[in-house]
Structure 1
């Protein structure tokens, strides 16, 4: 017996609906969380000032003398404030150097020390929060699904003693806070992973799993519209008259 279009469409809609229904749920749940969440809290801005503090400097004799200590040709220079220190971030063809303007004895370095980073993070906190621990991370410590993925390395992870389990990541060579991660961000990241269906890097939105489920979702919605069309009393009456 030949099956009707109504029967075939209903079966197709039912099975596709069951198959991608869970993903539809996660898409909706993620959308609700993204739209109702405080993005400032997700990015850690409610706990600290992540904005880089810069200053303009002049090429006086003191600065010229410091720049002479840089061993490679210089590409660009940025004046930054770290704690109470005025520092020149010097980028060369071979790497980065930090020149401390108020340290004549040992002005040049390849990066901030652990002690400097601790003071740096404490100076950026909006309230007094204790530091639980610090750890140095390089490329061997960062996996594809690490919360500090695809960011400049090496980095110091500064773990704060706070209910949000906030970690502040500071790049010692850049003398810069490169990332802030907390529980709110981790929930956001998990739901974003389900949203884009990239279970490794979580940032690849053109993956084939998402493409396939998007097409199946379109088929499911279209079949639902078609079922609605076939179920309209007016359409049924017209079909009866024709037959």
Structure 2
């Protein structure tokens, strides 16, 4: 039995050594990186709309859509009198389409111009770089692949290699991506072993390696117990009779 567990432990160790090291390394790196910095919260100015301005009810908006439509809240940003302002907006996701309505009038919110997007991106940017490029993306890169297209990508020339992704109709920053986030995402990929989408925590590869690592740990415990378990003392019968 001991020989079986020793052989099992050794072979599992050889197979798992690299991935176990990557689990510890990636966990350490993700623990070290401040999550606020990873999300780019220090680079983004957040402004909220005054929802007392909302006159139209969500039910009035949802009546225009199918029963499967989902509903959420957002803001339409504008630059007025050298100040960033926000008005309330309803977002309706109906099938594969995203609709935006003014909560004050109920009218559809039209897309902003590139000049508006550039101005709003700069207004929401708290960094020390300059705006380098603006692109309206119909196909999104991996770092925002789970968001609905289209989105404006705004690139800033700063030490963080920052990119803002803005809603084309509201001008609101949806995501901030920096080099810190990209490093975090890389190590997250190694940690969950999803090398394609980097989001599936229940993929078969992770489950298989995790189960093998548990078996590796269990076999090690068995070997450790068999090595250090208390030994029974054998009494010499001649000595015991004296």
| 2:51 is the alignment partner of 1:56 | yes
Aligned partner of 2:89 in structure 1 is 89
**Is residue 2:197 matched to residue 1:201?**
yes
Q: Does 1:135 align with 2:135?
A: yes
Aligned with 2:2: secondary structure? helix
Q: Indicate conservation of the 8 Å contact 1:99/1:109, yes or no.
A: no
**Partner of residue 190, structure 1:** 186
Q: 1:98: Cα distance to partner?
A: 5.5
The offset of 1:206, in angstroms, is: 0.9
CA displacement at 1:227 relative to structure 2: 0.7
Q: Which sections of structure 1, spanning at least 5 residues, go unmatched?
A: 64-69, 102-106
Matching residue of 1:66: none
Q: Distance in 1 between matches of 2:218 and 2:233?
A: 21
- Residue in 1 that maps onto 2:110: 110
Give, in angstroms, the shift of residue 86 of structure 1: 4.9
Deviation for aligned residue 1:168? 0.4
Q: Map of 1:19-168 to 2, 5 A cutoff?
A: 19-49=15-45, 51-58=46-53, 73=64, 80-84=76-80, 85-91=85-91, 95-97=99-101, 109-138=109-138, 141-142=139-140, 146-168=142-164
Q: CA deviation at 1:79?
A: 5.6
Q: CA deviation at 1:14?
A: 0.9
Conserved? CA contact 2:51–2:88, under 8 Å: no
Q: Given the superposition, is the C-alpha separation of residues 225 and 31 from structure 1 closer, same or farther in structure 2, using an over 3 Å criterion?
A: same
Indicate the SS of the match to 1:222: helix
CA contact (8 A) 2:23 2:191 kept: yes
Q: CA deviation at 1:181?
A: 0.5
1:48-82 superposed Cα distances (whole Å, 9 cap, x missing partner): 22x3421234479xx9xxxxxx9x95988866443
Q: In the superposition, relative to structure 1, how do residues 30 and 91 fare at CA in structure 2: closer, same or farther (>3 Å)?
A: closer
1:9 aligns with 2:5: yes
SS in 1 for 2:13: helix
User: Which 5+ residue runs of structure 2 have no aligned equivalent?
Assistant: 66-70, 236-242
Aligned equivalents of 1:160, 1:225: Cα separation in 2: 53
Please tell me whether the aligned partners of residues 168 and 177 of structure 1 are also in contact (alpha carbons under 8 angstroms): yes
1:228-243 maps to which residues of 2 (within 5 A)?
228-232=224-228, 234=230, 237-238=231-232
Distance 1:189 1:14 in 2: 32
